[in-house]
Structure 1
Amino acid sequence: MDIIAFLGIAGTAIIGSFVGLVVLLWLVGFRIIRSDRVGIVEKWWSPRGSLKDQIIALKGEAGYQPDVLRGGIHFRTPLMYKVHTMPLVTIPQGKIGYVFARDGVPLEGGQTLGRMVPGNTFQGVRFFLENGGQRGPQRQILREGTYAFNLAMFVVVTESQVYYLHMGDTVEMQTIQSMAAHLASIGGFAPVIIKGADDKTGIVTVHDGPSLPSGDIIAPAVGDKAGDPNHHN
Structure 2
Amino acid sequence: MDSLSHSLFPFLAIFFPLLLLIIFAKPLLGLVIIGELEVGIVVKKFARRGLEAGKLIALDDESGFQADTLAPGWHFFYWPWQYKITKEPVVVIEQGEIGLVVAHAGLPIPPGHMLGEAVICDSYQDARTFLMRGGEKGRQLGMLTAGTYRINPALFTVITRRNADRHGMDAQDLLVYQVAADNVGIVTTLDGAPIEAGEIAGPVIPLHDNFQDAQAFLSGGGRRGLQEQ
Pair 1:189 & 2:171 matched: no
How do 1:90-129 and structure 2 match up within 5 A?
Answer: 90-118=92-120, 120-129=122-131
Identify the residue that residue 230 of structure 1 maps to in structure 2: 216
Change (3 A) 1:42 1:105: same
Q: How far did residue 30 of structure 1 move?
A: 1.1
Pair 1:218 & 2:204 matched: no
Q: How far did residue 160 of structure 1 move?
A: 1.3
CA distance in 1: counterparts of 2:121 and 2:185, whole angstroms: 28
Identify the residue that residue 78 of structure 1 maps to in structure 2: 80
SS in 1 for 2:43: strand
Pair 1:45 & 2:28 matched: no
Q: How far did residue 25 of structure 1 move?
A: 2.9
CA distance in 2: counterparts of 1:225 and 1:112, whole angstroms: 18
CA distance in 1: counterparts of 2:208 and 2:36, whole angstroms: 40
Unaligned 5+ segments in structure 2 are: 1-18, 210-214, 221-229
The correspondence for 1:204, drawn from 187, 190, 196, is 187
CA distance in 1: counterparts of 2:176 and 2:53, whole angstroms: 39
How do 1:127-166 and structure 2 match up within 5 A?
Answer: 127-161=129-163
CA distance in 1: counterparts of 2:93 and 2:162, whole angstroms: 9
CA distance in 2: counterparts of 1:225 and 1:161, whole angstroms: 28
Superposition misfits of 4+ residues, deviation over 6 angstroms: 18-21
Q: How far did residue 49 of structure 1 move?
A: 2.9
Contact 2:120–2:130 under 8 Å retained in 1:
no
Q: How far did residue 120 of structure 1 move?
A: 4.7
Q: Percent identity?
A: 36
Pair 1:31 & 2:14 matched: no
SS in 2 for 1:100: strand
> TM-score, normalised to structure 2's length?
0.76
Letter in 1 for 2:64: G
Change (3 A) 1:54 1:149: same
Q: How far did residue 21 of structure 1 move?
A: 8.1
Change (3 A) 1:223 1:153: farther
Q: How far did residue 222 of structure 1 move?
A: 3.3
CA distance in 1: counterparts of 2:202 and 2:175, whole angstroms: 25
RMSD of the alignment, in Å? 2.7
SS in 2 for 1:126: helix
Task: Report how many aligned residue pairs link the two structures.
Answer: 195
Unaligned 5+ segments in structure 1 are: 1-17, 163-175
